[in-house]
Amino acid sequence: MTEKKEIRTRFAPSPTGELHIGALRTALSDFLYAKKNNGKFILRIEDTDQNRLVEGAVERFLKMLQWAGVVPDEGVVLDEDGKVSQDGECGPYIQSERLDIYKKYVQKLIDEGKAYYCFCTAERLDEMRKNQQVRKEAPKYDRKCLNLSKEEVEEKLKNGEKCVVRFKIPEGKTVFEDLVYGKIEVENSTVDDQIVLKSDGFPTYHLAVVVDDYLMKISHVFRGAEWISSTPKHILLYKAFGWEKAMPEFAHMPNILGKDGKKKLSKREGSVSVQDFKNQGYPPQAIVNFIALLGWNPKTEQEIFTMDELISQYDIRKVNKSGAVFDIKRLNWISAQHIRKMSIDEIYNQALPFLKEKEFYKSWNTDRETWSDKEKEEYIKKIISVEKDRLEKFDQIGESNQFFFSDPKNISSDDLRWKDSSDEDMKNNLQKAKKVLESISESDWELKNIEEKLLQAAGDKRGDLLFPLRAALTGEKKSPSPFEVAWALGKKESIKRIESVNSAI
Q: Which residues make up the interface to ligand GLU (CB under 6 A)? A: 12-14, 46, 209, 223-224, 227
Nearer to ligand GLU, 44 or 63 (CB): 44
CB of 136 to ligand GLU, least distance (A): 31
Angle, alpha carbons 234-237-243 (nearest 5°): 105
Is the bond preceding 13 in cis, omega lying within 30 degrees of 0? no
Distances (CA, A) of 163 to 105, 109, 148: 17, 16, 13
The number of CA neighbours under 13 Å toward the Cβ of 252 is 21
CB of 17 to ligand GLU, least distance (A): 10
Identify whether the C-beta of residue 307 lies closer than 8 Å to the C-beta of residue 69.
Answer: yes
Contacts of residue 423, defined as CB under 8 A and 6 or more positions apart, other chains included, come to 413, 505
Beta bridge partners of 20: 273
Q: Alpha-carbon distance 248 to 8, whole Å? A: 9
Identify whether the C-beta of residue 488 lies closer than 8 Å to the C-beta of residue 382.
Answer: yes
Nearer to ligand GLU, 20 or 434 (CB): 20
- Tell me phi and psi for residue 451, to 5 degrees: -65, -50
Q: Given the DSSP bridges, would you call strands 40-43 and 74-78 parallel, antiparallel or unpaired? A: parallel
Active site residues: 267
Identify whether the C-beta of residue 12 lies closer than 8 Å to the C-beta of residue 248.
Answer: no
Q: Alpha-carbon distance 61 to 359, whole Å? A: 31
The number of CA neighbours under 13 Å toward the Cβ of 234 is 22
Which residue in 356, 340, 276, 219 sits closest to 17, CA to CA?
Answer: 276
Q: Alpha-carbon distance 7 to 25, whole Å? A: 19
For helices 328-340 and 284-292, what crossing angle results, to 10°? 130
Go through 162-183 and write b for each residue having 16 or more CB atoms within 10 A of its CB, e for each that does not.
ebbbbbbbeeeebebebbbbee
DSSP-derived letter for residue 273 is B
CB of 48 to ligand GLU, least distance (A): 9
Q: Distance from first CA to last CA of the chain, Å, rounded?
A: 89
CB of 224 to ligand GLU, least distance (A): 6
Angle, alpha carbons 201-206-210 (nearest 5°): 105
Identify whether the C-beta of residue 53 lies closer than 8 Å to the C-beta of residue 71.
Answer: no
Identify whether the C-beta of residue 95 lies closer than 8 Å to the C-beta of residue 45.
Answer: yes
Which residue in 380, 288, 294, 295 sits closest to 335, CA to CA?
Answer: 288
CB of 223 to ligand GLU, least distance (A): 3
Q: Alpha-carbon distance 12 to 248, whole Å? A: 15
